[in-house]
Amino acid sequence: MKSKNPMKKYLFLRRFIAWALFILLLVSFHRLDIFHKVIQYLPKIQFGQSMAGFFSQGALSASLIFLSLALLTVIFGRFFCGFICPLGAFMDLTIFIGSKIKPAPFSFKPNTFYRLIIPALLLLAFWLGLAFPYNYFEPYSLLVSGHGLLLIIIILALLKGRVFCDVLCPPGLLLKLLSGSGLFGLKFKQNSCLSCGACQRVCPTSCLNSSAKSLDRGRCLLCLECAAVCPNGSMTYGLITRPPAGRRHFLKLASAGALAAGAYLTSPELRVRTFGQAPPAPILPPGALSLAHLNAHCSLCHTCVSACPNGAIQPSHSLVPVLTAKPLIEPYQGFCQYDCLICGQVCPTGALRPLSLEAKRLTRLGLAQLNRPECLVIKNRTSCGACAELCPTGSVRMAPGPSGQDEPTMNTDFCIGCGACQKACPVRPIAAIVVAGLTIQQTAKAPLTLETPDLSLSEDFPF
Amino acid sequence: MYRRSFIKTLVGGAALLGLGQALGRGPGLTAALAQDYPDLVAIKGADITVMFDQALTALGGLGRFVTKGQKVLIKPNMGWAVEPRRAANTSPELLAHLVKRVKELGASKISVFDNTCDNWKSAYSTSGLEEAASKAGALVAPANSEKYFQKITIPGQSKLGQTAYHELYLEADVIINLPVLKHHGGAKMTAALKNLMGAIWDRSDLHWGGLDQCIPELMLYKKPNLNIVEAQRVMLNGGPRGYGDSQYLAANMLLASADPVAVDAASYRLLAESGIREPGYIAQAASLGLGQSDLSLIKVQRLTV
């Protein structure tokens, strides 16, 4: 009887899709050289990431993905949470393994207002420009940045199921509102259900009430665990038939829409006005335009951090709110490769704009400054020139200087602040040449070109 | 019995000593056998592959340096993510041609690598060298991680003390040094001696210790068997990467020698006309006994095609 339940195969299908995406994500982060194409698309299809892109008026593709996912959620329910979300898959796996040791301990909990407080506050903060709390809880960022919250999530998953998706996940709140009175969903077969309670013991979001034969669709993640466990197939997925929606429901939807539109229009400007420019001078990755732009658009998914082939982009450890966890260039780790465009290409939110090679080569991230007394050539009178060697624009050159020998000589008109000189300088812990970042990126002067013909030797063999 | 064994030991020891002496004088011995060949060949005026073939014929053939079954490392300059016309890296055409010639001699393994300055993937591909070498049949290996390098103590009194060489450099039976000649802001010139900085892991040690003193020390542990310096289009300023406004010299030349110091001394003469100061490492290398910096003391063959 049990094995004939047709919903079982849908559960396996769902698990297969969700877990495969999760594993793909893990693998792609460890083997970027093979999977860098994949990693471009994984964050882009995330609801939370595309939502950040949409509300910060980032890339058009992010907005389109966000709107499509939102529309699909209204029609089909929170399929994103069940089938796509990698953190959801991670919790699923945790619960799955936990249930092999001890059967799932879940039970029905009624929906309450308190459940939406935290995600609502996170969304509000995000709207005001404080992106990092949002991003600590945005499932994709959370998983990718892998901070300590993951441990709490494992414990929560084992004890309370996917409670995270309901009471903490900020994009989850939006999905909850969108799916609450959607067109399709899971439903009880009222006449065959025996109210045995099997479904509510496996429901990881506690949204099923077996005795009342009712289901809170806002919280239902379409994980299909309940339908697969039902002994007589009384849990089915289909069109929800109900009395026509009242005026009240329409008003609710309309006000939610108005709120979203208002948020969309006001968000970027409001953020800059709220938090303004940061005091220190970080080196922003190319295409960030300005700290204000980065702050408004970056969802801290750290895809650029993982994708940077030189390891130049690092999550900031700064405690200044607008900088915390922001992807910044850290020249001691690596410099921004002159002909590389990857970060702008992988950024899912448009925080780092994709640049043309010509534009990238002129994008000034900061300005290099030489600390003459610390320079080895000047201090030790040895030949070095590592900075001039690496400089792609000719801003630092070895030329006769006050020290009486060839020393680094700066012409910052051409400097793009890529940090190659700082990385190459052998002086540590503080290099003798360092880049000071710019909060608003500039355009450097194009490097000089020489069109004079090649010289020739005065004799055939000068030796 | 005692006396007999004593005599045996004495004779054996003497034989070993003689053998050791003969082996120790290996290069001298080879030089004696090859006395008809020039120490240095400089050739100009033709296509790079033609110049290569003729230069090697003059040197007695590539077979003098490579024999069947050997593991051969070719160390080009491919440290920069710039296109071939900028001449900051060795010419892909020359590298492919050399790989082809080494393959014809039946080498068991031909490897190519460089510890790049720019991002290694960009440098390998933009320089065109990865494609050229692998198409010709060489193994183009990464050198972007410390895991490929092994720490070696440099023999004698060295400023560096220790440095880590790429495992392919250490395992090779034959090393062919294939630099491009160009200006270098720090070291004044890149040619044979300087090119070994791409065979080791941590270059900052050399910058700390002084390039002139440390560059020659890299050859004290294991010296390339053949040095071929490409000097077709020589960068005269803005090196080693080259800027948009770098001036070039159309020398259209190729220099080849087993002596890295001699080939560097000759190469420098091409730069000297443009007022580039002589790199201190040439004299330093000569004083370490790595080769002859005085070209009047060696046999130089000059060819114009």
CA distance A76 to A329: 42
Res A319: pLDDT: 63
Give just the sign of the alpha carbon dihedral B229, B235, B241, B244.
Answer: negative
pLDDT at residue number B208:
87
Weakest mean pLDDT among A24-33, A439-448, B61-70, B172-181: A24-33
The pLDDT value given to residue A6: 82
pLDDT of residue A62 exceeding 90, the answer is no
Domain residues of chain A, as ranges? 2-239, 291-443
Give the pair of three-digit tokens for residue A174: 């939006």
A contacts of B185 (beta carbons < 8 Å)? 385, 388-389, 397-398, 406
In whole angstroms, give the CA distance from residue A180 to residue A166: 13
Chain B residues touching A343 at Cβ < 8 A = none
Distances (CA, A) of A270 to A55, A275, B177: 12, 9, 61
List the pLDDT tens digit at each of the 305 positions of chain B.
466 666 666 565 555 555 544 444 444 444 445 558 999 999 999 999 999 999 999 999 999 999 999 999 999 999 999 999 999 999 999 999 999 999 999 999 999 999 999 999 999 999 999 999 999 999 999 999 999 999 999 998 899 999 999 999 999 999 999 999 999 988 999 999 999 999 999 999 998 889 999 999 999 999 999 999 999 999 999 889 998 889 999 999 999 999 999 999 999 999 998 999 999 999 999 999 999 999 999 999 999 98
Residue A173 in this model has a pLDDT that exceeds 80: yes
Among A37-51, A399-413, B127-141, the range of highest mean pLDDT: B127-141
Residue with tokens 């895809």: A303
* Confidence class for position A276, pLDDT limits 50, 70, 90: very low
Whether residues B246 and A385 touch (CB distance < 8 A) is answered with: no
Architecture of domain A291-443: 2-Layer Sandwich (3.30)
The DSSP secondary structure of A381-419, one letter per residue, reads -----HHHHH-SSSSEEEEE-TTSSEEEEE-GGG-----
- How far is Cα A275 from Cα B183, in angstroms, rounded to an integer? 49
Q: What is the pTM of this model?
A: 0.73
Q: How far is A414 from chain B (nearest CA, A)?
A: 11
Cα–Cα distance, B91 to B98 (Å, whole number) = 11
- Asked if A454's CB is within 8 angstroms of B233's CB, the reply is yes
User: Which residues on chain B are in Cβ contact (under 8 Å) with A426?
Assistant: 204-205, 207-208
d(CA B241, CA B141): 22
Residue with tokens 């049990």: A2
Which of A54-63, A89-98, B257-266 has the lowest average pLDDT? A54-63
CB within 8 Å: A398 and B236: no
pLDDT at A277 over 80: no
Q: Which of A392, A426, A456 sits opposite B208 (nearest CB)?
A: A426
Query: Which has more pLDDT, A405 or A388?
Result: A388
Residue (of A337, A361, A315) closest to A420 by Cα position: A337
- The pLDDT of residue B29 is 47
Please give the pLDDT value at position B26: 42
pLDDT, chain A, mean: 86
As a 3-state breakdown, chain A gives helix, strand, coil percent values, each rounded to 5, of: 50, 10, 40
Which of A338, A450, A455 is opposite residue B250, by nearest beta carbon? A455
Residue B92, token pair as written in the block: 């892909």
Residue range A315-372, pLDDT digits in tens = 887 666 677 778 999 999 999 999 999 999 888 888 899 999 999 999 999 999 999 9
Instruction: pLDDT band for A246, please (50, 70, 90 cuts).
Output: low
Q: Which position has the token pair 């009242």?
A: A246
pLDDT at residue A57, rounded to an integer: 62
Q: Which amino acid is at B206?
A: L
**Residue B35 confidence (pLDDT):** 59
Of the listed ranges A104-118, A132-146, A429-443, B199-213, the one predicted with least confidence: A132-146
Positions of E strands within A41-197 = 184-188
Q: Which of A339, A398, A450 sits opposite B126 (nearest CB)?
A: A339
Q: What is the pLDDT of residue A1?
A: 43
Which H or E run includes B103? helix B92-104
Phi, psi of B250 (to 5 degrees): -85, 85
> Under an 8 A CB cutoff, do B280 and A447 touch?
no
The b/e string for B59-96 (b: 16+ C-beta within 10 A; e otherwise) is beebebbbeeebebbbbbbbbbbbebebbbbbbbbbbb
Over residues A33-38, the mean pLDDT reads: 64
Best of A310, A374, A454 to substitute, by most chain B Cβ atoms within 10 angstroms, is: A454
Are residues A457 and B295, on separate chains, in Cβ contact within 8 Å? no
Sign for the pseudo-dihedral over CA of B159, B162, B168, B169 = positive
Partnered with residue B182 across adjacent β-strands are: B190, B235
Checking if the pLDDT of A278 tops 50, the result is no
pLDDT at A279 over 60: no
Whether B73 and B174 have beta carbons less than 8 Å apart is answered as: yes
CA nearest neighbour of B56 among B281, B266, B225? B225
Query: Percent of chain A at pLDDT above 90?
Result: 48
Tell me what pLDDT residue B25 has.
42
Share of chain A above pLDDT 70, in %: 89
**What's residue A296's pLDDT?**
76
Both structure tokens of B79: 């440290």
| Rounded CA separation A136/A169 (Å) | 10
Is the distance from CB of B300 to CB of B40 less than 8 angstroms?
yes
The answer to whether the CB of B218 falls within 8 A of the CB of B166 is no
Instruction: Please state, in angstroms and rounded to a whole number, the distance separating the CA atoms of residues B91 and B264.
Output: 18
**Distance, CA of A193 to CA of A205 (rounded, Å):** 20
